[in-house]
């Protein structure tokens, strides 16, 4: 192995050596503890220390780094206290997740580290968002994100690289090519010679680096960091290395040819660098023993500190209270001046006023800039706020949701427009596995609103008509708003943007240009979790939301003999169950209307909760009405049959007569 010192001082050469030695010695200790049953799992980075240490030391302390399983050297190089790392791996309170996640699945703002999730790919887009925030603030910073060669086959990898290239984001995409994705060798994962060849397709620079040569890693990465701080742009790095142990310790390495293991054992980054420093007279056996003794003492002292800490305890109340970041709702009253506008205008107005309120609020979505979006919600916004804040995106929902998460990590709010709610399936993973869980896991909020133009009735067919709110009301950590009127849409959108938690904001396309209302002209907010009682009655309770509200009101107008409570839920998570219970206790009959298909929808949960809490007040079976259990059809006659409006009328009359 050839080492080039360049202009590095002796102190730095030794610092890099100690930087690699520390994670190696910690790992050796962890393997012993794993066999003793004192930790539950371990992903070894033995043989790859030069990458983690070299990259981290090339970054400035305020620059974010996003590591993977095998990057212990990132954490030790950033000076994370060992007792906290050991506490994390033992599920102790001193760790970073309060026992809610394991190993390296955590982040820490204090040390500018953002840990990965098991789905791997989304963290690449998160790095894009972090870098975007730095670039928008004109901070000359780099962001480094790690991935393995296996995850480069994921769509998120390609999406994130494309976004970074189009937006010229200062991100180092670091591929640790260690030969195997669990047990799958590289020749079964991809069919190009080098992974960096893919950079050409994205118009990116790339480098291949010997991942076992600490001086090459540090020097080249340091040079590249300086370059992208001056002229922001992404660079794809492929570190050639090898995984000397199993994917995780239970996997073993029987699938690796012995000859290959011996070849890479000779390339051990620490042993070779140690020999080099000894040859140069920079290091000797006495220094090595002194370093080892110092590190061993630090490990043992901090291990004992972690052992002495009691097992973590909690309560259901505490756990539930840590799913969302606390939001102190601030009420902005409606002003007296009103304007009769459409639903679509109210959404646009609410979004524009929030952009004025928050100078760092970013909007991202397909065709939303000069074109104004397919529904023209953001028409004219670029003239007012510029393209830095109103950002057209490539067609890559997953990377953009992940980038929104990165913006939040770096202290910015964002609104993502799904062109149609149906397309959210392409961004589903980062929503339900990253945004929804991140605060509960390590206390980082996801300050993101995802706008969801949804709903049938406009002849748009199976891929542009879904109302898929139940996908998200099921997921702890997400909030879901679904207004039915222009004034509610404007006020709830303002609240959604104020809220530091992730919000799915559903906007029914069929209401966009068909529903008008007198809407206050100034900025105002409405609380989440507070239903609106539109009509008061004694015969029965109608609970609904979205387009269902208008169907229910229309049908009740046809039947003046029915004196009904009509409750517009407005938000589905949080849900105003008290308003529902209060109404049922008064009327003793309940019918729930939703546009979504019936099975597994919000109506089922409301019905179950009412049965559990108000059973003695019921004088009739609860009725649920929803759309047919089919995809949304295109032809008008089929779509009308699919939707529940007419079935609701029949069920309403049956319940009234019961």
Query: Alpha-carbon distance 70 to 48, whole Å?
Result: 8
DSSP reduced 3-state for 320: helix
113 and 107 Cβ atoms separated by less than 8 Å: yes
The two counts, helices (H) then strands (E), for the chain are 24, 21
Name which of 256, 633, 588 is nearest 461 in CA terms.
633
Question: What residues contact 179, with CB distance under 8 A and at least 6 apart?
Answer: 149, 185, 186, 241, 242, 243, 256, 260
Helices (H), 387-502: 397-409, 428-429, 438-442, 470-473, 486-498
Query: Alpha-carbon distance 209 to 54, whole Å?
Result: 11
Q: ∠ CA(159), CA(160), CA(165), 5° rounding?
A: 100
At residue 591, φ and ψ (nearest 5 deg) are -130, 135
Question: What residues contact 417, with CB distance under 8 A and at least 6 apart?
Answer: 363, 364, 365, 366, 368, 373, 377, 378, 450, 451, 453
- 3-state SS of 10-78 is HHHHHHHHHHHHHHHHHHHHHHHHHHCCCCCCCCCCCCCHHHHHHHHHHCCCCCCEECCCCCHHHHHHC
Question: What residues contact 224, with CB distance under 8 A and at least 6 apart?
Answer: 142, 172, 207, 235, 237
- Say what the alpha-carbon torsion angle 614, 616, 619, 624 is, to the nearest 10 degrees: 30
Helices (H), 321-396: 343-357, 381-385
Name which of 100, 137, 142 is nearest 117 in CA terms.
100
Query: Alpha-carbon distance 454 to 472, whole Å?
Result: 14
464 a catalytic residue = yes
Query: Alpha-carbon distance 542 to 562, whole Å?
Result: 11
Whether cis (ω within 30° of 0) applies to the bond prior to 392 is no
DSSP reduced 3-state for 355: helix
DSSP reduced 3-state for 627: strand
Question: What residues contact 172, with CB distance under 8 A and at least 6 apart?
Answer: 55, 142, 143, 144, 145, 221, 224, 225, 228, 234, 235, 237
Question: What residues contact 285, with CB distance under 8 A and at least 6 apart?
Answer: none
Question: What residues contact 74, with CB distance under 8 A and at least 6 apart?
Answer: 52, 55, 56, 65, 67, 113, 146
Choose the catalytic residue: 69, 247, 464, 550.
464
DSSP reduced 3-state for 145: strand
Query: Alpha-carbon distance 538 to 541, whole Å?
Result: 8
DSSP reduced 3-state for 195: helix
- Per-residue buried b or exposed e for 115-134, using 16+ beta carbons within 10 Å of the residue's own CB: bbbeebbbbbbbbbbbbbbb
Beta strand 180-181 with 184-185: parallel, antiparallel or unpaired?
Answer: antiparallel
As annotated, the active-site residues are 464
């Amino acid at each position: 192995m050839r080492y080039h010192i360049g202009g590095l001082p002796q102190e730095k050469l030794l610092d890099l050596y100690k930087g690699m030695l520390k994670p190696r010695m910690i790992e050796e200790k962890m393997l012993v503890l794993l066999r003793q049953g004192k930790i539950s799992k371990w992903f070894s980075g033995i043989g790859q220390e030069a990458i983690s240490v070299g990259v981290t030391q090339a970054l400035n302390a305020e620059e974010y780094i996003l590591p993977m399983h095998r990057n212990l050297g990132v954490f030790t190089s950033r000076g994370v206290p060992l007792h906290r790392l050991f506490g994390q791996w033992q599920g102790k309170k001193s760790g970073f997740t309060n026992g809610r996640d394991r190993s390296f699945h955590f982040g820490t703002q204090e040390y500018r580290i953002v840990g990965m999730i098991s789905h791997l790919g989304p963290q690449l887009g998160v790095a894009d968002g972090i870098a975007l925030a730095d670039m928008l603030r004109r901070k000359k910073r780099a962001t480094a994100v790690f991935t393995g060669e296996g995850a480069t086959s994921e769509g998120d990898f390609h999406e994130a690289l494309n976004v970074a290239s189009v937006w010229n984001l200062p991100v180092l995409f670091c591929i640790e090519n260690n030969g195997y994705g669990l047990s799958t060798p590289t020749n079964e994962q991809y069919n190009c010679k080098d992974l960096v060849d893919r950079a050409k397709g994205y118009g990116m620079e790339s480098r291949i680096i010997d991942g076992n040569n600490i001086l090459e890693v540090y020097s080249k990465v340091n040079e590249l960091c300086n370059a992208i701080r001056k002229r922001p742009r992404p660079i794809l790095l492929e570190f050639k290395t090898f995984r000397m142990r199993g994917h995780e310790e239970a996997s073993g390495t029987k699938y690796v040819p012995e000859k290959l293991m011996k070849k890479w054992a000779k390339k051990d980054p620490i042993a070779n660098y140690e020999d080099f420093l000894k040859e140069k007279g920079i290091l000797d056996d006495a220094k090595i023993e002194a370093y080892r003794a110092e590190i061993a003492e630090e490990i043992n002292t901090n291990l004992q500190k972690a052992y002495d800490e009691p097992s973590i305890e909690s309560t259901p109340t505490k756990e539930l209270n840590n799913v969302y970041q606390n939001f102190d709702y601030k009420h902005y009253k409606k002003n007296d001046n009103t304007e009769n506008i459409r639903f679509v205008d109210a959404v646009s107005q609410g979004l524009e006023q929030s952009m004025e309120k928050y100078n760092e609020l970013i909007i991202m979505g397909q065709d939303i800039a000069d074109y104004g979006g397919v529904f023209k919600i953001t028409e004219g916004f670029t003239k007012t706020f510029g393209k830095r804040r109103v950002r057209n995106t490539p067609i890559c929902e997953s990377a953009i949701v992940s980038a929104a998460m990165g913006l939040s990590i770096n202290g910015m709010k964002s609104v993502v427009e799904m062109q149609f709610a149906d397309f959210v399936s392409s961004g589903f993973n980062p929503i339900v596995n990253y945004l929804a869980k991140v605060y509960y896991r390590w206390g980082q909020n996801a300050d993101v609103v995802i706008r969801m133009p949804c709903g049938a009735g406009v002849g748009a067919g199976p891929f542009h008509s879904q109302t898929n709110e139940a996908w998200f009301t099921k997921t702890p950590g997400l909030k879901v708003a679904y207004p039915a009127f222009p004034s509610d849409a404007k006020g709830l959108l303002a609240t959604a943007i104020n809220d530091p938690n992730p919000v799915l904001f559903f906007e029914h396309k069929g209401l966009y240009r068909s529903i008008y209302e007198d809407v206050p002209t100034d900025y105002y907010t409405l609380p989440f979790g507070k239903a609106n009682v539109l009509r008061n009655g004694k015969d029965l309770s109608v609970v609904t939301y979205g387009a269902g509200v208008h169907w229910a009101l229309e049908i009740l107008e046809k039947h003046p003999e029915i004196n009904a409570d009509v409750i517009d839920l407005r938000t589905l998570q949080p849900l105003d169950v008290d308003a529902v219970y209060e109404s049922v206790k008064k009327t003793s009959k309940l019918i729930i209307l939703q546009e979504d298909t019936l099975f597994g929808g919000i109506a089922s949960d409301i019905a179950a909760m009412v049965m559990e809490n108000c059973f003695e007040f019921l004088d009739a079976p609860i009725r649920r009405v929803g759309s047919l259990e089919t995809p949304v059809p295109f032809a008008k006659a089929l779509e009308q049959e699919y939707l529940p409006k007419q079935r609701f009328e029949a069920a309403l009359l049956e319940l009234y007569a019961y």
